[in-house]
Structure 1
């Protein structure tokens, strides 16, 4: 799956000259936590988010520090913070070092970027032009669409379910598949054997629950660490 499969195409934007109050109304109206900021030609030049609007003098949330710390920070830092808490123009508050991603990039690359930089959204670009936004909500939407349908799973033979479980187990190096036995009766799975820790026990349950046709999982596994005293 690539970024364009998940992104929101109809993007609301803010102009660098827009008033902060207008941008707040837009964000509340369309229920988004950030807006890309463009210039008069539509080129992306920044992004303004809820985080940029937290420190405001109107609601008494501007930064306050002891005098000695203000001296250490210096006038440049204090002046910038004054602008951020008092300015009514988006251009003074927005983040200008904007991370973006191309529409053809694998979706996993976008998630890696969002996770690494602790951001909630990414502007999506096509040949240097803003064409969409990818947010955490978009990822949730494609996740739901990708979930396998459960209709008709009762028709899958037990032998096929069992074979599928073993195939999945072979794909993962954290499973000692020779130590696990699987029994399937009318879609109900019993797991027997030995695992080395409870994390593996939980992971095996999750693996089996994701196999089509499985209606329940009964854990009859033995935790070897409880026998040997290892953790």
Structure 2
């Protein structure tokens, strides 16, 4: 099982709390990254990302002044905070302070869920409260490429082993319709017969077989199951 330690980028490009917006911009552009952690003696204080820098007075994208009647209902502190974020040159004023983090032993499946649910592009990796790496979407894609190269490496399996692996893999999934199709394997060629409930199920079954080690080809002789058959 892959963990954060297996895929993270380390050492981390980071800045200190005394850095400026100008320095952050230079780092992001120079290294081709979209965010940089703010640390103090190894401890994570926050992250400055591209998203933190798109609403800036210098480029005319700062939040616009509201009409007087909208300001009556606005939170004064929130408006002031927005002004600070869009005008300050200090990274501690513009950075995102509430940052999701993981540890080195966090499984990549949990990291993927964290990135997806929080709609973020990267997550810092901590060890005893100190940042030791960052896992980004790009790191997960890189791990995918490496894994697929290993996965697709030629592997020899006899027909019975291939069939058993396919059947066990189908049983472990929740989408196959049981008892409606059969699978045989001859000289590495997988043959499906019977019926399927949906085109999505048919395609998923083919991909499952395609990803099984030792499979040379796939013949699909199944037919779509007419769910209205026999209905009066």
Q: TM-score, normalised by structure 2?
A: 0.87
Matches of residues 169-188 of structure 1 in structure 2 within 5 Å?
A: 169-188=170-189
Any idea what SS the aligned residue of 1:105 has?
coil
Is the CA contact 1:182–1:190 (under 8 Å) kept in the aligned structure 2?
yes
Q: Which moved more, 1:99-108 or 1:212-221?
A: 212-221
Matches of residues 52-71 of structure 1 in structure 2 within 5 Å?
A: 52-64=52-64, 66-67=66-67, 68-71=69-72
State the match for 1:197 in structure 2.
Answer: 198
Q: Residue deviations 1:3-52, cap 9 Å, x none?
A: 1111111101111221111111111221211111012x232111111110
State the match for 1:85 in structure 2.
Answer: 86
State the match for 2:13 in structure 1.
Answer: 12
Per the TM alignment, residue 101 of structure 1 is displaced from its structure 2 partner at its CA by 0.9
Q: What is the root-mean-square deviation in Å for CA atoms of aligned residues?
A: 2.3
Is the CA contact 1:169–1:177 (under 8 Å) kept in the aligned structure 2?
no
State the match for 1:47 in structure 2.
Answer: 47
Question: Quick one: structure 1 residues 179 and 87, their matched pair in 2 at CA, closer, same or farther if it must change by over 3 Å?
Answer: same
Matched, 1:110 2:111: yes
Matched residues in 2 for 1:130 and 1:184: separation? 50
Matched residues in 1 for 2:152 and 2:45: separation? 45
Alignment: residue pair count: 228
Matched, 1:3 2:8: no
Matched residues in 1 for 2:142 and 2:84: separation? 37
Question: Quick one: structure 1 residues 225 and 28, their matched pair in 2 at CA, closer, same or farther if it must change by over 3 Å?
Answer: farther
- Which protein is richer in helix relative to its size? 1
Per the TM alignment, residue 217 of structure 1 is displaced from its structure 2 partner at its CA by 3.1
Per the TM alignment, residue 145 of structure 1 is displaced from its structure 2 partner at its CA by 1.8
Question: Quick one: structure 1 residues 198 and 65, their matched pair in 2 at CA, closer, same or farther if it must change by over 3 Å?
Answer: farther
Any idea what SS the aligned residue of 1:14 has?
coil
The structure 2 residue matched to 1:152, chosen from 137, 151, 154, is 154
Per the TM alignment, residue 131 of structure 1 is displaced from its structure 2 partner at its CA by 0.7
Is the CA contact 1:70–1:78 (under 8 Å) kept in the aligned structure 2?
no
Is the CA contact 1:122–1:134 (under 8 Å) kept in the aligned structure 2?
yes
Question: Quick one: structure 1 residues 60 and 141, their matched pair in 2 at CA, closer, same or farther if it must change by over 3 Å?
Answer: same
Q: Which moved more, 1:19-28 or 1:156-165?
A: 156-165
